[in-house]
Structure 1
Amino acid sequence: MHVLVTGGTGFIGSALVPRLRGDGHEVTILSRGKHADGGGVRYVQSLDALADDAGVDAVINLAGASLNGRRWTEAYKREMVASRLHTTAAVVALCRRLARPPSVLVSASAIGYYGDRGDETLDEQSSMGEGFSAELCRDWEAAAREAEALGTRVVLARLGVVLDREGGAFVELSRPFRFGIANWLGSGRQYLSWVHRADVIAAFAFLLEQEALAGPVNVTAPAPVTHRTLCAALRRRLTTLPGMPVPGFVMRIMLGEVADELLLAGQKVLPKRLEAAGFAFHYRDIDSAVGQLLGKP
């Protein structure tokens, strides 16, 4: 299979591409940077570089400026929106132009779609929430679904908070613990719907092959936890002082809207459709994930 990956050099894409190559797929990566082709991987800086007869069988759309990359100024919010919607629109335009549209488009989204929902249990049938993140995910998904008119199966992969030792949220969340300081964010009672990066990679490979799966699919571990529970899992493996909160007002002063939308808010999201389709998570609970991430099983 020839798979086009947008955002293929990012946090998820850099781990996904080796998996795709290992599965025998030919890969083309859309990247703003210049890279040398090799090892069955081709790089393009524009989708215009792909000919009409390029024979793209599948697209995995991961492009987008980081939501927690920096403080959400109005300018950066516009960048977050544009980086997702413009790239997704370009992918759909490519699908229209190709002599044979791709059979599947797996387009990243996020559980931010559900908004701040407290301890309400959420699955793919749950309604959209409120706030900037929810509206961004709604519009991002709508842009991807334009490809359905071409006969392309569109999967909307709603990612939870992706944990890995090489980057992302876990590095930031665990840093105080490594210095002997245990803490949680705000009340600590807000839910964190997490997923190990290894399971994200396996899930994307799985979604490429599952012809019966289309529409929204939550990519989150089956056991979401509160921030206090995450704190307890870290303390079982790292020696720290007694736990303490990082007050919400401090986080709001430091991070503004990011604090309310991403860190003090919570969603208890379950991967109902993914599990029903037979996907097996390697890291189902936070204890096993934290053990692997810290190298302390």
Structure 2
Amino acid sequence: MHILITGGTGFIGQALVPHLLQAGHRISILSRSRHRDTAQCTFLRSLEELSPDSAPDAVINLAGASLAGKRWTRAYKEELVASRVQGTRALVTYFAESAEPPRVLLSASAIGYYGPRGDDALTEEAAPGSGFSSELCQAWEQEAARAAEAGIRTCLLRLGVVLDRQGGALKEMALPFRFGVASWPGSGHQYLSWIHRQDVVAAMEFLLAEDTLAGPFNLTAPGPVTQREFCHAMRKHFRTLPGMPVPSPVMRLLLGEMAGELLLSGQRVLPAGLRRAGFEYRYPGIDDTLAAIFGTQAGDRLP
């Protein structure tokens, strides 16, 4: 299968591309940076570089600036909208008008779609929420859904917090633990809906292969945890003082609006769609996930 990937050099793409290549697929990556082609992986600077005889069978749209990348200034919000909403619009428009459109589009979204929802169990049938991140995800998905109107099987990937050793959110989340401080944001009772990066890759491969699957899918593990529970699980791998909160006012002062929407509130998101379709997780629980990432031996802990 020939697969075009946008955002293929990012955190998820760095795991996805080698996996798909090993499975025998041919990959094209749309990237603004210059990279050297290989026998099975071609880098493109624009969609116009696709030749008529090499139309992709599938498109995976991962492009977009990170929600947690910077403080949400007006300029960065505009960058988020441009990279996610406008980028997806251009991608879908190109392939909807193509003589040979792809059979399937997997387009990234995020669980921010649901907005702050407390302890509510949220499956794909839950209504969207409010706030900037929710409105951004809704607009992002609306652009991707236009591919379905053009007859392209479309899966919307509502990603939770993706965990792995080589980067992503865990790099920042682990930093205080590495300095001996176990902490959680605010009350710590808000839910963290997470997923191991290997399960993200496996879920994408699963959705590519299952021709009957379309619509939104929560790419989260079946075992969301509270921030306090996450802190307890992390302490098994680091020598730290007892856990303590980072007060909400401090979080808001440091990070502004982003703290309120991404860290001090949470969503308890469940992957009903993937489970119903028969997808099997390699890392369904937070303890096994962190053990795989940091090693099976728990670190020495202070009392």
TM-score range, shorter chain: over 0.9
How far did 1:168 drift?
1.1
- With the length of structure 1 as denominator, give the TM-score of the two structures: 0.98
Aligned CA-pair RMSD: 1.0
Q: What's the counterpart of residue 192 of structure 1?
A: 192
Paired letter, 1:94: Y
How far did 1:149 drift?
2.1
- With the length of structure 2 as denominator, give the TM-score of the two structures: 0.96
2:245 is equivalent to residue 263 of structure 1 = no
Q: Which string of whole-angstrom CA distances, capped at 9 and with x for unpartnered residues, describes residues 30-55 of structure 1?
A: 00000111030000011111134432
2:235 is equivalent to residue 229 of structure 1 = no
Kept after mapping to 2: 8 A contact 1:116/1:267: yes
SS of the aligned residue for 2:163 comes to: strand
Cα distance in 2 for partners of 1:98, 1:41 equals: 22
SS of the aligned residue for 1:244 comes to: strand
Matches for 1:158-173 after TM superposition, within 5 Å: 158-173=158-173
Cα distance in 2 for partners of 1:87, 1:20 equals: 23
SS of the aligned residue for 1:162 comes to: strand
Matches for 1:41-190 after TM superposition, within 5 Å: 41-190=41-190
Paired letter, 1:281: Y
How far did 1:145 drift?
0.8
Kept after mapping to 2: 8 A contact 1:8/1:31: yes
Cα distance in 1 for partners of 2:279, 2:79 equals: 34
Structure-2 change in CA distance of 1:53 and 1:145 (3 Å): farther
Paired letter, 1:275: R
Moved over 4 A (4+): none
Cα distance in 2 for partners of 1:94, 1:25 equals: 22
Q: What's the counterpart of residue 249 of structure 1?
A: 249
Paired letter, 2:37: D
Kept after mapping to 2: 8 A contact 1:51/1:98: no
How far did 1:180 drift?
1.3
SS of the aligned residue for 2:241 comes to: coil
Q: What's the counterpart of residue 36 of structure 2?
A: 36
Kept after mapping to 2: 8 A contact 1:53/1:99: no
How far did 1:190 drift?
0.3
User: Gaps spanning 5+ residues in structure 1: where?
Assistant: none
Cα distance in 2 for partners of 1:276, 1:149 equals: 25
Paired letter, 2:80: M
SS of the aligned residue for 2:181 comes to: coil
Kept after mapping to 2: 8 A contact 1:52/1:97: no
Q: Which string of whole-angstrom CA distances, capped at 9 and with x for unpartnered residues, describes residues 172-218 of structure 1?
A: 11111122111111100000000011100111111101111111000
User: Gaps spanning 5+ residues in structure 2: where?
Assistant: 298-303
Paired letter, 1:138: Q
Paired letter, 2:40: G
Paired letter, 2:291: G
Cα distance in 2 for partners of 1:277, 1:192 equals: 24
Paired letter, 1:29: I
Paired letter, 1:41: C
Structure-2 change in CA distance of 1:230 and 1:176 (3 Å): same
How far did 1:265 drift?
1.2
Cα distance in 2 for partners of 1:289, 1:39 equals: 34
Paired letter, 1:32: R
Paired letter, 2:114: Y
Cα distance in 1 for partners of 2:24, 2:260 equals: 43
Cα distance in 2 for partners of 1:32, 1:290 equals: 33
Paired letter, 1:192: L
Paired letter, 1:9: T
